[in-house]
Amino acid sequence: MMNGETIVFYLLAALTLVSALMAVTSRQIFRAAICLLLSLLGIAGIYFWLRYEFVAAVQIVVYAGGIAVLIIFSVFLTQRSGEDLPRQSRARMLSAAVAALTGLGLVMLQVLRHRFSGTTNPAIDNGVSAIGRRMLGVGEDGYALPFEVVSMLLLAAMIGCIVIAMRSKTKSS
């Protein structure tokens, strides 16, 4: 029997895949951006469905709140967003589609053939406080180091952005 959860899952999956497809095919760049966002929200929905609320929230915060806005701004900045993107050559689209479909087929074949074996240990709490403890842990399975490394990465990214963007700004004016 189909219960509510299953329906929701399939709805989310459909949302994700359909809007992802539209994101890569739409010739209206702004719409493509919105579709991408919808697709990412669909993924967040799947995380919710899987009861990984923290990841879902992170996904929404970063993608909806950050990356989408950034992409939209850069669209405004660099495109005449009212005009359609140029049409691609049919051959190119076809070959890309064939390549993607073949890839998909091959991988799925492998996936379905492969018997995954996981643990049968009981699931542990994936609540935020567990995540927090793990993240701050300095021991064997702690993520303290990556946590600090991320800050380095962010620093690097920020400096990179500023260097690049500021240079172009001074140049433009």
The footprint of other proteins on residues 62-101 (CB under 8 A) is 62-83, 85-86, 88, 92-93, 95-97, 99-101
Closest distance of CB 122 from other proteins, Å: 7
| Interface with other proteins in residues 147-166 (CB under 8 A) | 147-148, 150-166
| Interface with other proteins in residues 22-41 (CB under 8 A) | 23-25, 28-34, 36-37, 39-41
Vertex 42 angle, CA 36 and 48, to 5°: 145
Distance CA 152, CA 71 (A): 24
Q: How many of the chain's residues bind other proteins (CB under 8 A)?
A: 132
Closest distance of CB 73 from other proteins, Å: 5
| Interface with other proteins in residues 104-133 (CB under 8 A) | 104, 107-108, 111-112, 116-119, 121-124, 126-133
Closest distance of CB 50 from other proteins, Å: 5
Closest distance of CB 167 from other proteins, Å: 7
Closest distance of CB 110 from other proteins, Å: 10
Check residue 15 for interaction with other proteins (CB under 8 A).
no
Closest listed residue to residue 41, CA positions, set 18, 24, 25: 18
Check residue 134 for interaction with other proteins (CB under 8 A).
yes
